[in-house]
Amino acid sequence: MTDAAISVDAFQAHGAEEHHHDADHKPAFFARWFMSTNHKDIGTLYLIFAIIAGIIGGAISGLMRAELADPGIQYLPYWANALSHFVGQGDVNANGASHMWNVLITAHGLIMVFFMVMPAMIGGFGNWFVPIMIGAPDMAFPRMNNISFWLLIPSFVLLLGSGFVSGGSGLGAGNGWVLYAPLSTYGSPGPAVDMAILSLHLAGASSILGAINFITTIFNMRAPGMTLHKMPLFVWSVLVTAFLLLLALPVLAAAITMLLTDRHFGTTFYDPAGGGDPILYQHLFWFFGHPEVYIMILPGFGMISQIVSTFSRKPVFGYLGMAYAMVAIGVVGFIVWAHHMFTSGLNENVKIYFTAATMVIAVPTGIKIFSWIATMWGGSLSFEVPMVWALGFIFMFTVGGVTGVVLANGGIDQYTHDTYYVVAHFHYVLSLGAVFSLFAGFYYWFPKMSGRMLNAPLGYLHFWVFFVGVNILFLPMHFLGLQAMPRRVPDYTDAYTYWNHIESVYGYTIMAFGMVFFFVNVAYSLIAGPKAPANPWGEGATTLEWTLPSPPPYHQFETLPKID
Amino acid sequence: MEVIQRKLTVLLAVFALGTALAPSYAEAPSNVAATAAVAAPAATNVAAPAAPAVAKPVEGMGQPVAGAYGIQPQVTDNGHFAEQMHNWLLMPLITAISVFVLGLLLWVMARYRRSANPVPSKNAHNTLIEVIWTGLPVLILAAVFIPSFQLLRAQYAKVGANALTVKVTGNQWYWTYKYPDNGDFEVVSNMLSDEQAKAAGEPRLLGVDNRLVVPVGTPIKIITTSADVIHSFVVPAFWTKMDAVPGRLNETSFKANQVGVYYGQCSALCGARHAYMPIVVDVVPQAVFNQWVLAHGGKLKGAAVTAAATIAKN
């Protein structure tokens, strides 16, 4: 409908004086935002969605840190009672209160993975900048792009709604984000888990459609001269990510469909009583789950490459090595999944293989870290806000990466598995890796997307306060893990109090305080920020988006650019 | 074990890392043996099988320590090996890599800041350096894989015929321990409430009413399974962790070299009371174990019968 309206206008404009300005003709509000076929508008929707989901997911982690600030159960009964009264039920018992904890950790994980990081990176920045960076007017399938976004809304509603219906010992799905059978089958009666599963089905369908769209766009819609080996590394990263999505998500869909049929239709895929096996679910889940962690970080790698190159005023060092390192990470990422299952009873040879294969991933990852540093080597560095976030990313991702090498050893993992060491590891690569790259990308592209400059002092304040906060929050988790504190517990023996208290009272609070600067900055800059020039970052910013005005016209590249 | 440790030391020399750190990891609690001796009951009352006195936990042994940041002290050979590999090889290695990357970053930031280097070089290739930073990590990882491989082999080593088998079953939310070698009697192990734990001098959330009791110095074959959902049997001081999966029998083993009380917690999310199903292993001298078995209506197996007979005669 929108398309039709626009094309009629376009045809009518033929021969008229504003012929060349039609590119900026926008449909009315409802048609523009609810029936959008424009990659930039859909990208904006994704970013707004991700920010809202991030606030919810971050608030849930605040509840978790409040409960963990001291030994004993502090708040869970109150929260569980409040929720229970809200849906018209009575007070919960002790199990209901503990169940509330499991609901919180499940929601935090699923929201941050499926509704914050993925929509922001792929749907948000991917949609906005992949077509522009390859010199295309839009995505290959604009309507499919729209349905990809709008599938996320019912998906998110289903997940949030699952908190208000029974999930076994209390309200909500409390199985952890991995939904391991049989806790998620006969272990959790009630509709909450079904809603969570359907939520994942929708989010998965959304991502698969998005992946098809990106692959088609990148393979078919590059401007003349934009060969694969000339594509910006961010485009490479989204291309590899799209293949991972396309190959991994159907496996998740199959795995959780079997959960559903086990729950309701009498199948026994994961139930030993009927010849099934709970470990089958773990294999299927992690065949998806491990590529998923690369899905969450590869676009970040791409963004960091663009930013480091821009502010070093140098092309990326070892471009081909960087591109194929991502391909290698993507390929190897599919054959290391069982390192998530080292304690599930795998046999010796399987564990030896997965130990070795997992270690291999450190090699292409190392190539990326060293290439970023080599890009800066000999450069002319300026430390604008996006660059500061990128530098923070490189160091923090290294710290998270090397603890991954520790965990890769199957024999060592026998101690650290399911302890806070693992929680520390994946928050260093995600909360300090993926999230830092998101902020770097946001500060980098905000002027382009909004046409307004962000306030730099507030950006630096955001960085430093957030940086200090997350490190106080997550570094001591290594110590707790080495002291063998298990994850997913709302209460702990008194010896674990010291670090937990520091994490909650100082770490989380400082981190949350840092976020205030971000929101103030965005609100202030959208209203009163200085107008952004086409290229605010200078000669180092060489990709195509900086050749367009800020914000870009509603339709760019009606005449395709030629790349030499 | 000796051989493995020697190889590990050689590796350390290769890396030239961590030697300075060595003394700080060498401390081990010395008062454990003495405590155990006190805990061992007089053997005179065995004729009428009474349960042996319950051993008291030792501060800093077999349980977490407030504010600590390292691995819990290990009391098995495999645990020692793994702890050394972590403390002397992996820890120094990852610290060195992180510090190296941080140093490079800071140096590049200072040396190539715009005011110091206004004209950027256009050099974006150097095949030699790319080969080096691909090849060197491969060599380092290969070197790490050697002890890693040895550790895995050691963890899967077959236990001898003298091993004692204990069948561990996870339930929502408690553990049951069965002793098939000793007449297949069963022990049900529930967490103590906060008040009970305080009264018994046990750490909160870790103490249980009935412990898993095993003899010191004997290989213990643990068979785990579950009656409902997946649980995980964990004793950090033994470097032991094995999921208890319904419909499966998973096997692992340990040989504790020190008597004492060792605490662990279920480590696979198993529902509402996941945080409240601790594991307590009481490692006791063989004679005390025999007494404990008899007190639970069990039978002594093979050689142990003779030992018990000797005790009974006294």
Instruction: Report how far residue A35's alpha carbon sits from residue B123's, in angstroms, rounded to the nearest whole number.
Output: 47
What pLDDT score does B302 carry?
66
CB count, 10 Å around CB of B100?
11
Q: How many CB pairs under 8 A join A and B?
A: 289
Written as one letter, the residue type at B166 is V
CB-nearest to B245 from A96, A278, A488 is: A278
Choose among B109, B154, B204: nearest Cβ to A494: B204
Give the 3-state secondary structure of chain B.
CHHHHHHHHHHHHHHCCCHHHHHHHCCCCCCHHHHHHHHCCCHHHHCCCCCCCCCCCCCCCCCCCCCCCCCCCCCEHHHHHHHHHHHHHHHHHHHHHHHHHHHHHHHHHHHCECCCCCCCCCCCCCHHHHHHHHHHHHHHHHHHHHHHHHHHHHHCCCCCCCCEEEEEEEECCEEEEEEHHHCCEEEEECECCHHHHHHHCCCCCCCECCCEEEECCCCEEEEEEECCCCEEEEEHHHCEEEEECCCCCEEEEECECCCEEEEEECCCCCCCCHHHCEEEEEEECHHHHHHHHHHCCCCCCHHHHHHHHHHHHC
- Is the pTM higher than 0.80? The answer reads yes
Decide if A236 is catalytic.
Answer: no
- Whether A558 sits among the annotated catalytic residues: the reply is no
Question: Chain B contacts of A359, Cβ < 8 Å?
Answer: 141, 144-145
Nearest one of B238, B217, B219, B213 to B288, comparing CA atoms: B213
Q: Is A108 a catalytic residue?
A: yes
Over residues A466-476, the pLDDT tens digits come to: 999 999 999 99
Across the interface, whether the CB atoms of B97 and A180 are under 8 A apart is answered no
A477: closest chain B residue by CA: B69
Active site (annotated) includes residue A487: yes
In angstroms, the CA A232 to CA B10 distance is 45
Q: Residue A121: which of A242, A217, A289 has the closest Cα? A: A242
Residues 143-182 of B with CB under 8 A from A: 144-145, 148-149, 151-156, 172
Q: What token pair was written down for A214? A: 């990106």
Planar angle of CA B128, B130, B134, nearest 5 degrees: 120
d(CA A420, CA A196): 25
Considering only alpha carbons, which residue of chain A is nearest residue B73? A483
Confidence at residue A542, expressed as pLDDT on a 0 to 100 scale: 93
Positions of chain A with pLDDT lower than 70, given as ranges: 1-24
Cβ–Cβ under 8 Å, residues A530 and A539: no
- B173 preceded by a cis bond (ω within 30 of 0): yes
Q: Mapping DSSP to helix (H, G, I), strand (E, B) and coil, where does residue A29 land?
A: helix
Which amino acid belongs to residue B243? D
- B185 contacts: CB under 8 Å, gap ≥ 6: B178, B179, B293, B296, B297, B298
Residue given tokens 């590249």 in the structure block: A557
Cβ–Cβ of A382/B153 closer than 8 Å? no
Tell me if the bond preceding A232 is cis, omega within 30° of 0. Answer: no
Q: Which residue of A has its CA nearest to B224?
A: A345
- pLDDT score, position A78: 96
Q: Which of A40, A314, A368, A478 is catalytic?
A: A368
Answer whether B246 sits within 8 Å of A362, measured CB to CB. no
Measuring CA to CA, how many Å separate A293 from each of A113, A129, A199, A429, A489? 9, 22, 19, 9, 23
Active site residue A19: no
Strand partners, B244: B231
Q: Are A124 and A47 in contact (CB under 8 A)?
A: yes
| Catalytic residue status for A305 | yes
Between helices A94-110 and A191-220, what is the axis angle to 10°?
10
Interchain CB contact of B228 with A (< 8 Å)? yes
Mutate to test the interface with A, among B152, B202, B228 (most CBs of A within 10 A): B152
Helices (H), A111-190: 118, 127-133, 142-161
Q: What whole-number distance in Å separates Cα of residue A200 and Cα of residue A254?
A: 11
Give catalytic status of residue A150 as yes or no: no
Closest by CA to B209, choosing from B222, B197, B201, is B197
Gap from A243 CA to chain B (nearest CA, Å): 25
Q: What is the 3-state secondary structure (H, E, C) of A50-116?
A: HHHHHHHHHHHHHHHHHHHCCCCCCCHHHHHHHHHHHCCCCCCCHHHHHHHHHHHHHHHHHHHHHHH
Give exposure, B129-168, as e/b (b: 16+ Cβ within 10 Å): ebeebbeebeebbeebbebbbbbbeebbeebeeebbbbbb
CB–CB contact A484 B234 (8 Å): yes
- Interchain proximity A417–B267, CB inside 8 Å: yes
Decide if B246 touches A, using CB distance below 8 A: yes
Q: Which residue has the tokens 């998923």?
A: A292
Partners of B88 on chain A (C-beta within 8 Å) are none
CA distance A82 to A101: 14
**Contact B245/A344 with Cβ under 8 angstroms?**
yes
Put simply, the answer to whether A415 touches B64 (Cβ < 8 Å) is no
Within 8 A of A486 by CB-CB distance, chain B residues are 234, 265-267, 275
Q: Looking at residue B47, what is its pLDDT?
A: 47
Sort out which chain A residues have CB atoms less than 8 A from B267's CB and list them: 343, 417-419, 486-487
Contact call for A367 and B130, based on CB within 8 A: yes
Check CB contact of B110 with chain A, cutoff 8 Å: no
Residues A23/A27/A31/A36 CA torsion (nearest 10 deg): 10
- A339 catalytic, yes or no? yes
Residues of chain B falling short of pLDDT 50: 1, 3, 8-48, 314
The angle that helices A94-110 and A76-86 make with each other, rounded to 10 degrees, is: 90
pLDDT value of position B307: 53
Tokens of A52: 């809202």
Look at residue A70 in the predicted model and tell me its pLDDT: 96
Strands B250-254 and B212-215 come out as unpaired
Spatial distance between the Cα atoms of A182 and A40, rounded to a whole number of angstroms: 43
Note whether B273 contacts A: Cβ–Cβ < 8 A. Answer: yes
Query: Comparing C-alpha atoms, which of A138, A113, A119 is closest to residue A48?
Result: A119
Cα dist from A252 to A113, A122, A243, A283, whole Å? 14, 19, 15, 10
Cβ–Cβ below 8 Å for A356 and B145? yes
Residues within 8 A of A (CB atoms), B 55-74 only: 63-72
A448 is an active site residue: no
Within 10 A of A225 (CB to CB), how many other CB atoms are there?
12
A489 vs B90, B148, B274: nearest CB: B274
Paired strand residues for B250: B224
DSSP-assigned beta bridge partners for residue B251 = B223
Q: What is the chain B residue with the closest CA to A381?
A: B113
- Residue B161: which residues within 8 A CB-CB, separation 6 or more? none
Asked if A413 and A481 count as a contact pair (C-beta separation under 8 A), the reply is no
A448-481: buried (b, 16+ CB within 10 Å) or exposed (e) per residue?
bbbbbbbbeebbbbbbebbbbbbbbbbbbbbbbb
- Catalytic residue list contains A257: no
The rounded distance, in Å, linking the Cα atoms of A253 and A54 is 24
CA-nearest of A548, A550, A551 to A559 is A548
Q: Which residue of A has its CA nearest to B243?
A: A344
Whole-angstrom distance, CA of residue A335 vs CA of residue A358: 8
Is residue A478 among the annotated active site residues?
Answer: no
Closest CA to A441 of A400, A395, A393, A401: A393
The predicted pLDDT at position B59 comes to: 82
| Burial of residue B70, with CB atoms counted within 10 A of its CB: 0-12 exposed, 13-18 middle, 19 or more buried | middle
Which residue among A101, A170, A411 sits closest to B148, beta carbon to beta carbon? A411
Q: What is the pLDDT of residues A98-124, one digit of tens each?
A: 999 999 999 999 999 999 999 999 999
Q: Which of A201, A290, A351, A452 is catalytic?
A: A290
Residue A558: how many other CB atoms lie within 10 Å: 11
Q: What is the DSSP letter of A162?
A: G
First-to-last C-alpha distance (Å) of chain A: 37
